[in-house]
């Protein structure tokens, strides 16, 4: 079981709700993924607007836990204000905190992120910060009160997978007891399996599923990949070697002189 802020989850696959071609396709993908947590950006939801209420009704009907998102925020003030509105609209202390610092890569502004996290944690929010693999930033976020970290694998929507294996592996090793969720950049199920094999606790997928030719089929593939990656991690994979190691013993075998 995956535990996030005291909530136990069976699934280690979290889904974003943006960019799906239709509500019906989103519904089918969430069900195929067997996801228990779905992120919703308040700006897309539009709070009290009629279209927003319709979207929110669809999410409620899925029976999932909502993780509101401050997507599109570029400052501490904007992110904190959006988080407060999200808590009021969705009725949850959970918030996926994004403070974007660079438009081309959508890289987090880690300075603004840690400040916003400090403010929101002090105000009773349970913060899921979208961050980098930087160890110092991770320490600052944990000191601010975060109990979950969401490092990127690659830029949002890029589909490039896990760009910095060394940094991500170091992050996992430095914080063995902290739930770590790979957020952003995963493009295919093998990327998700690799993340779980490395010891990450879950992955959050949006674009790779929403923009697939068949989102529901891709969601099912990601669900299988996450389960396979987690099972492999628990099974204890062998360490990579520089030289070949025969799988069949040679001692005692017949040979011709």
A 10 A CB-CB count for 190 gives 14
pTM beyond 0.85: the answer is yes
Catalytic residue among 96, 118, 140, 191: 96
**Do the Cβ atoms of 148 and 128 come closer than 8 Å?**
yes
| Rounded Cα–Cα distance for residues 24 and 16 (Å) | 15
How confident is the model over 135-146, as a mean pLDDT? 98
Given the DSSP bridges, would you call strands 107-108 and 100-102 parallel, antiparallel or unpaired?
A: antiparallel
Q: Which residues pair with 40 in a beta bridge?
A: 68
Q: In the structure, what pLDDT confidence band is assigned to residue 26 with cuts at 50, 70 and 90?
A: very high
Written as six digits, the tokens of 158 are: 């890029």
- Which residue from 87, 109, 88 is spatially nearest to 98, judged by alpha carbons? 109
Q: Which residue matches tokens 């068949």?
A: 214
Per residue in 157-184, pLDDT tens?
999 999 999 999 999 999 999 999 999 9
Q: Which DSSP symbol is given to 99?
A: -
**Per-residue pLDDT at 59:** 82
Who has greater pLDDT, 60 or 133? Answer: 133
Q: Convert the pLDDT of each residue in 182-206 to its tens digit.
A: 999 999 999 999 999 999 999 999 9
pLDDT of res. 47: 46
Q: How far apart are CA 20 and CA 207, in angstroms?
A: 8
CA angle centred on 66, ends 63 and 68, rounded to 5° = 160
Q: What is the pLDDT of residue 48?
A: 47
Instruction: Report in angstroms the alpha-carbon separations of 219 from 5, 171, 230.
Output: 25, 27, 17
Which pLDDT value is given to residue 52? 57
Catalytic-residue membership of 77: no
**Mean of the pLDDT values across residues 96-118?**
94
Residue-wise over 53-65: b if at least 16 C-beta within 10 A, else e? eebbeebeebebe
Q: Which of 132, 101, 139, 102 is nearest to 118 (CA)?
A: 139
Per-residue pLDDT, 181:
98
Task: Give per-residue pLDDT as tens, 243-254.
Answer: 888 877 766 665
pLDDT of 160 reads 95
Burial of 240 (0-12, 13-18, 19+ CB in 10 A): exposed
């Amino acid at each position: 079981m995956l535990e996030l802020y005291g909530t136990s989850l069976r699934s280690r696959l979290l889904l974003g709700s943006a960019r799906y071609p239709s509500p019906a396709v989103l519904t089918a993908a969430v069900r195929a993924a067997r996801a228990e947590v779905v992120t919703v950006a308040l700006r897309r939801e539009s709070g009290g607007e009629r279209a927003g209420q319709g979207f929110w009704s669809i999410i409620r009907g899925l029976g999932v836990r909502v993780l509101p998102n401050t997507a599109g925020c570029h400052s501490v003030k904007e992110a904190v204000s959006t988080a407060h509105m999200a808590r009021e609209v969705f009725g949850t202390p959970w918030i996926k905190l994004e403070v974007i610092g660079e438009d081309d890569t959508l890289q987090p502004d880690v300075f603004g992120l840690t400040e916003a996290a400090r403010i929101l944690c002090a105000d009773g929010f349970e913060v899921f910060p979208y961050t980098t693999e930087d160890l110092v930033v991770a320490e600052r976020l944990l000191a601010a009160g975060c109990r979950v970290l969401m490092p990127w694998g690659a830029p949002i929507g890029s589909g490039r997978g896990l760009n910095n294996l060394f940094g991500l592996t170091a992050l996992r090793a430095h914080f063995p007891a902290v739930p770590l969720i790979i957020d952003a950049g995963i493009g295919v199920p093998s990327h998700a399996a690799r993340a779980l094999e490395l010891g990450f606790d879950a992955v959050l997928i949006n674009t790779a599923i929403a923009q697939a030719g068949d989102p529901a089929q891709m969601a099912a593939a990601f669900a299988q990949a996450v389960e396979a990656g987690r099972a492999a991690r628990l099974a204890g994979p062998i360490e990579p070697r520089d030289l070949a190691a025969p799988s069949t013993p040679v001692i005692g075998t017949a040979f011709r002189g």
